[in-house]
C-alpha cells in the first residue's frame, strides 16, 4: 500500500494525499475527510523514514544497553521506551554483551541511524575524552557516572545512585542488627564499575564501625552469573570461616546466595542474614523475601530521557543527577542474638 | 570525522579513501596501507547508512518483541542479536508492551527502517490474512504459531513448542507421581494464546487420566504479574479447596506460587508439588529448585534467524518447526504418599 494507492482509492492526486498527511491548510474539508477515511480503510502507513530523509531530520534516540540478561536494565528499558515514544521520538535499542564496548557500538549506531542522542545503560565508569570523540551527539549515562574516567563534567550527563554510599548503607544496616562477620558477594573488586564502588562502600562501612576487613569473607565471582555466585557462596560455607551476614552487590547475586545457604542447610535469616542493592520485582518472591535497597528505576529512566531531549532541543545543559535508594524490608535480615 | 578528514590526513583524494573502504583493486599497496592506518588513527567510522542508501540495500532485520519484562524472551533476544550480527545483518529491536499490537508496530518499522524481514517474539496466535497485508516482507513467529488465525501456512514461518501437548506432559508428570487434585495457574483460559493452549493441555491430561475437572482449582490471574499470581494462589489456599499439586503455565508464575505456598505455611513439595513450563535460569535458584519443562531457547532463536535469512536471500521457503521441551528435574515435585 503506497500513497499512490490511497490517491487512486479516493480519486484524488498524490499531492492532495500528501497535503492531507502533512496537515496543509489548502485542502477542502470534504476532500480531507475522504482522504483520511481512505487512509484508514486501506491501512496505509506513511513512510516516515522517507519523510525524515526529505526533511533531513531524524527522531532517533539510541539506547545502548550493556548486558542483555540484566533484569534491572530490562525494567529501565520498559520505561525509556514509553517515555521516548510519548515525547515524539523513536527509540533505537541496541543491546550488547557485557564484554562488548558500548562507545564503539554507539558511534556506529549514530552514523547508521542518524541518532540525535544516546542513552547508555549499564556502561563503563571509565570513559576517556579521547574515545568519546567518536560520539558527536549528546549522551546520558543512566545508572552510572564517569567515576574512573577523565570526562569533563560539562560534556556529558548522568543519572545514578552513589554506589559507594549505598553499599555503605547496606552494610551499616547489617551492623545495626548486631552483625560483625559480614561476607560480601561481588563480581570483581577492581572492575572500574559497580563492583569496585560497592566493594569500597563495604570496606568503608566496616572501617567506620571498627570492624577489621577479612579477605576470606570476600566472594568474587568474576561476573554476574547465578551459577558462579552459587558456587562461590557454597565454597565460602565449606571453608568453615565464620560469618553471620552477607551483602550481595546485586539482587540476582543475592538470590543465588540464598539458594546456596539453604541448600547447605543454613536458614536465612536465622543462620545468615542477606541484604542486596537493586530492588528487582522477582527478589520480592524469594523465600524469604530479599531485603534490598531499591534503585528508583522509573525515575532514573524518566530523568535520563528528559535530560537528553533537553540537550537535543537546546533547552537544557549537561547535568548530573544523584538519586537515592529506598530500603525494601524483606525477611532476609534478622538481628543477631547477643551471646 | 568524515571521509574528507581522512583524505586530508593522509594526503590523498576522497575517492581513493572510498576505493580503499570498498576494497577496490585499483589502489597501490603503499597508499592502501597509508589510508588504512589513517582510518585507524583518526578513529573514522564509515557511514554505512549512507552507503546502504546508495546501494539501495538495507541489512536490517526487525525483531518485534511483545512483553519487555518477559525473561524468557530476553534470553532469546541475546541469541538472536548474536546470530543476526554474525550473519552480516543488523538487528533492529523493537520491544512493545503486552497490550500493544505487534503487527502494526512491525508495519511502521518496516517502512521506517527498510526492514528485510521480521522475527516476532511472543506475539498473538490469531493473525488474520487481512491484517498481515500491511507487512510485505517475510516474517517468522518465534515461540508461537498461528493456531487461532487464518494465515495460509505457506505465507509465514514459525518455530514453537506444541503448547497443548507440553502442558499435557507436565500434568501427566504430576499424575504419574500420584496427584489427582491438581490446580492450574494461568493468565487467561481464553487468551487466544499460550494460556488457552496450555489450559487445554491441562484439561486433556485430566480427562485422559479419568480425573474430573474442578473449576475451583483454576487460578486465573489476568496477566503475568507476579503479584497477581501470588494473590491468586493465596486465595486458592484460603478457600480451603483441597489440592496436592499445581501446574503453572510459566516459570515466573510458578515462582510466585511457591512463595505464596511457603508464606501460607505449606511446604513445597511435601504439602504441594509445583511444575511449570519455560526453563528460566532464575527458576533453578528458587527454594526448592523448580521442576520445569525447558524450552530450547537458543535453538529456537537460531532456527528463526536461519529461516528468515533463507527467505530474504531466496534460498528457503516458509516452514513450521516444532521443537520439544526437556524436563529439568528440580525439587518441587514429590510423589504423593498412598493414604
List of residues 6+ apart from A207 with CB closer than 8 A: A213
Question: Is pLDDT at A4 greater than 70 in this prediction?
Answer: yes
pLDDT at A36: 77
pLDDT at A53: 42
The three grid cell numbers given for residue A178, joined into one nine-digit string: 548486631
Alpha-carbon distance of B191 to B125, in angstroms, equals 9
* A93 interface with B at CB cutoff 8 Å: yes
pLDDT at B268: 97
pLDDT class of A112 with cuts at 50, 70, 90 = confident
The mean predicted confidence, pLDDT, of chain B is: 89
pLDDT at A49: 47
User: Mind listing the pLDDT tens digit for each residue in B292-304?
Assistant: 999 999 999 999 9
Q: The domain B3-46 is classified under which CATH number: 3.40.720.10, 3.40.50.11540, 3.40.50.150, 1.10.260.40?
A: 1.10.260.40
**CATH number corresponding to B163-295:** 3.40.50.2300
Contact B111 A77 (CB under 8 A): no
Question: Is pLDDT at B2 greater than 90 in this prediction?
Answer: no
* A114 interface with B at CB cutoff 8 Å: yes
pLDDT at A247: 98
Q: How far is CA A127 from the centre of its chain?
A: 17
Contact A107 B45 (CB under 8 A): yes
pLDDT at A41: 67
Question: Is pLDDT at B326 greater than 90 in this prediction?
Answer: yes
Give ∠ CA B225-B227-B229 in degrees, rounded to 5: 75
Give a three-class secondary structure readout of chain A: CCHHHHHHHHCCCHHHHHHHHCCCCCCCHHHHHHHHHHHHHHCCCCCHHHHHHHHCCCCEEEEEEECCCCHHHHHHHHHHHHHHHHCCCEEEEEEECCCCCHHHHHHHHHHHHCCCEEEEECCCCCCCHHHHCCCCCCEEEECCCCCCCCCCHHHCEEEEECHHHHHHHHHHHHHHCCCCCEEEEECCCCCCCHHHHHHHHHHHHHHHCCCCCCHHHEEECCCCCHHHHHHHHHHHHHCCCCCCEEEECCHHHHHHHHHHHHHCCCCCCCCCEEEEEECCCHHHHCCCCCEEEECCHHHHHHHHHHHHHHHHCCCCCCCEEEECCEEECCCCCCCCCCC
Contacts of B50 in chain A (CB under 8 A): 111
Q: Which residues of chain A are in CATH 1.10.260.40 domains?
A: 3-46
Cβ–Cβ < 8 Å for B75, B297: yes
Q: How many CB pairs under 8 A join A and B?
A: 118
| Architecture label for domain A163-294 | 3-Layer(aba) Sandwich (3.40)
Alpha-carbon gap: A49 to the closest alpha carbon of chain B (Å): 4
Question: Is pLDDT at A54 greater than 50 in this prediction?
Answer: no
Q: How far is CA B69 from the centre of its chain?
A: 11
Give a three-class secondary structure readout of A8-69: HHHCCCHHHHHHHHCCCCCCCHHHHHHHHHHHHHHCCCCCHHHHHHHHCCCCEEEEEEECCC
Best-predicted range by mean pLDDT (A32-36, A110-114, B294-298):
B294-298
Q: Which residues of chain B are in CATH 3.40.50.2300 domains?
A: 60-162+297-324, 163-295
Which residue in chain B has the smallest CA separation from A42? B134
Class in CATH terms, A58-162+296-325? alpha beta
User: Mind listing the pLDDT tens digit for each residue in B37-70?
Assistant: 777 666 666 655 444 444 446 788 999 998 767 8
* A213 interface with B at CB cutoff 8 Å: no
Alpha-carbon gap: A212 to the closest alpha carbon of chain B (Å): 32
Task: Report the share of chain A in percent with pLDDT over 90.
Answer: 65
User: Mind listing the pLDDT tens digit for each residue in A300-328?
Assistant: 999 999 999 999 999 999 999 999 999 99
pLDDT at A339: 46
pLDDT class of A45 with cuts at 50, 70, 90 = low
Contact A259 B69 (CB under 8 A): no
pLDDT class of A2 with cuts at 50, 70, 90 = confident
User: Mind listing the pLDDT tens digit for each residue in A166-205?
Assistant: 999 999 999 999 999 999 999 999 988 899 999 999 999 9
* A51 interface with B at CB cutoff 8 Å: no
Cross-chain CB nearest to B74 (options A74, A133, A284):
A74
pLDDT at A90: 84
The three grid cell numbers given for residue B24, joined into one nine-digit string: 577496490
Question: Is pLDDT at A31 greater than 90 in this prediction?
Answer: no
pLDDT at A52: 41
pLDDT class of A20 with cuts at 50, 70, 90 = confident
Which residue in chain B has the smallest CA separation from A51? B112
User: Mind listing the pLDDT tens digit for each residue in A255-288?
Assistant: 999 999 999 999 999 999 999 999 999 999 999 9
Alpha-carbon distance of B65 to B310, in angstroms, equals 21
Contacts of B259 in chain A (CB under 8 A): 285-287, 289
Cross-chain CB nearest to B282 (options A112, A133, A282):
A282
pLDDT at B26: 77
* A328 interface with B at CB cutoff 8 Å: no
Contact A47 B111 (CB under 8 A): yes
Cβ–Cβ < 8 Å for A206, A212: yes
Contact B47 A75 (CB under 8 A): no
Mutate to test the interface with A, among B47, B67, B68 (most CBs of A within 10 A): B68
* A286 interface with B at CB cutoff 8 Å: yes
Cβ–Cβ < 8 Å for B82, B41: no
Contacts of B281 in chain A (CB under 8 A): 69, 226
Best-predicted range by mean pLDDT (A51-60, A251-260, B100-109):
A251-260
pLDDT at B335: 96
* B58 interface with A at CB cutoff 8 Å: no
pLDDT at B97: 75
Cβ–Cβ < 8 Å for B337, B179: no
pLDDT class of A27 with cuts at 50, 70, 90 = confident
Q: Which residues of chain A are in CATH 3.40.50.2300 domains?
A: 58-162+296-325, 163-294
* A97 interface with B at CB cutoff 8 Å: yes
Question: Is pLDDT at B338 greater than 60 in this prediction?
Answer: no
Task: Report the share of chain B in percent with pLDDT over 90.
Answer: 65
Cβ–Cβ < 8 Å for A23, A39: no
Question: Is pLDDT at A9 greater than 60 in this prediction?
Answer: yes
pLDDT at A47: 56
Alpha-carbon gap: A256 to the closest alpha carbon of chain B (Å): 6
Question: Is pLDDT at A232 greater than 60 in this prediction?
Answer: yes
- What are the φ/ψ torsions at residue B244 (nearest 5 degrees)? -120, -5
pLDDT at B311: 96
Model ipTM value: 0.77
Contact B49 A82 (CB under 8 A): no
When pLDDT is averaged across residues B143-165 and rounded to a whole number, the result is 95
Question: Is pLDDT at B8 greater than 80 in this prediction?
Answer: no
Alpha-carbon gap: B63 to the closest alpha carbon of chain A (Å): 11
Q: 3-state DSSP call for residue B245?
A: strand
- Grid look-up 506460587 returns B257
Q: The domain B60-162+297-324 is classified under which CATH number: 3.20.20.70, 3.40.50.800, 3.40.1190.10, 3.40.50.2300?
A: 3.40.50.2300
Question: Is pLDDT at A40 greater than 50 in this prediction?
Answer: yes
pLDDT at B42: 64
Contacts of B93 in chain A (CB under 8 A): 93-95
Contact A95 B77 (CB under 8 A): yes
Q: How many CB atoms lie within 10 A of CB A32?
A: 16
Alpha-carbon distance of A47 to A53, in angstroms, equals 10
Contact A287 B94 (CB under 8 A): no
Q: Could you tell me which residue, B211 or A10, shows the higher pLDDT?
A: B211
What residues are paired with A65 via a beta bridge? A95, A121
* A71 interface with B at CB cutoff 8 Å: yes
Cβ–Cβ < 8 Å for B141, B120: yes
Of the candidates B269, B332, B286, which has an alpha carbon nearest to the alpha carbon of residue A287? B286
- Grid look-up 510519548 returns A86
User: Mind listing the pLDDT tens digit for each residue in B268-286?
Assistant: 999 999 999 999 999 999 9
Among the residue ranges A64-73, A170-179, B121-130, B156-165, the one predicted with the least confidence is A64-73
Residues 229-268 of B with CB under 8 A from A: 230, 252, 255-256, 258-259, 262
When pLDDT is averaged across residues A213-230 and rounded to a whole number, the result is 96
Alpha-carbon gap: B319 to the closest alpha carbon of chain A (Å): 26
User: Mind listing the pLDDT tens digit for each residue in B176-192?
Assistant: 999 999 999 999 999 88
Question: Is pLDDT at A39 greater than 80 in this prediction?
Answer: no
Total count of residues recorded for chain B:
339
Question: Is pLDDT at A296 greater than 80 in this prediction?
Answer: yes
Amino acid at each position: 500500500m503506497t500513497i499512490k494507492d490511497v490517491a487512486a482509492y479516493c480519486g484524488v492526486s498524490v499531492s492532495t494525499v500528501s497535503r492531507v498527511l502533512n496537515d496543509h491548510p489548502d485542502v477542502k474539508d470534504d476532500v480531507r475527510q475522504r482522504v483520511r477515511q481512505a487512509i484508514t480503510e486501506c491501512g496505509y502507513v506513511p513512510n516516515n523514514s522517507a519523510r525524515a530523509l526529505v526533511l533531513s531530520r531524524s527522531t532517533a534516540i539510541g539506547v545502548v544497553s550493556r548486558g542483555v540478561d540484566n533484569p534491572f536494565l530490562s525494567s529501565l528499558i520498559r520505561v525509556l521506551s514509553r517515555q521516548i515514544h510519548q515525547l515524539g521520538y523513536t527509540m533505537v535499542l541496541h543491546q550488547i554483551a557485557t564484554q562488548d564496548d558500548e562507545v564503539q557500538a554507539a558511534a556506529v549506531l549514530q552514523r547508521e541511524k542518524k541518532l540525535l542522542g544516546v542513552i547508555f545503560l549499564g556502561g563503563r565508569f571509565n570513559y576517556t575524552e579521547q574515545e568519546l570523540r567518536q560520539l558527536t551527539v549528546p549522551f546520558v549515562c543512566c545508572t552510572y557516572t564517569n567515576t574512573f574516567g577523565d570526562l569533563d563534567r560539562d560534556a556529558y550527563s548522568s543519572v545514578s545512585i552513589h554506589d559507594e554510599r549505598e553499599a555503605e548503607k547496606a552494610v551499616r544496616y547489617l551492623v545495626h542488627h548486631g552483625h560483625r562477620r559480614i561476607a560480601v558477594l561481588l563480581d570483581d573488586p577492581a572492575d572500574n564499575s559497580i563492583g569496585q564502588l560497592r566493594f569500597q562502600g563495604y570496606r568503608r562501612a566496616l572501617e567506620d564501625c571498627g570492624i577489621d576487613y577479612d579477605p576470606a569473607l570476600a566472594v568474587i565471582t568474576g561476573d554476574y552469573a547465578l551459577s558462579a555466585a552459587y558456587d562461590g557462596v557454597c565454597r565460602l560455607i565449606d571453608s568453615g570461616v565464620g560469618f553471620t551476614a552477607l551483602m550481595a552487590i546485586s539482587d540476582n547475586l543475592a538470590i543465588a546466595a540464598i539458594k546456596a545457604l539453604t541448600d547447605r542447610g543454613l536458614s536465612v535469616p536465622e543462620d545468615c542474614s542477606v541484604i542486596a542493592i537493586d530492588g528487582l520485582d522477582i527478589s520480592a518472591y524469594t523465600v524469604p523475601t530479599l531485603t534490598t535497597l531499591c534503585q528508583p528505576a522509573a525515575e532514573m529512566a524518566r530523568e535520563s530521557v528528559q535530560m537528553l531531549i533537553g540537550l537535543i532541543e537546546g533547552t537544557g545543559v549537561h547535568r548530573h543527577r544523584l538519586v537515592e535508594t529506598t530500603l525494601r524490608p524483606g525477611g532476609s535480615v534478622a538481628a543477631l542474638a547477643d551471646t
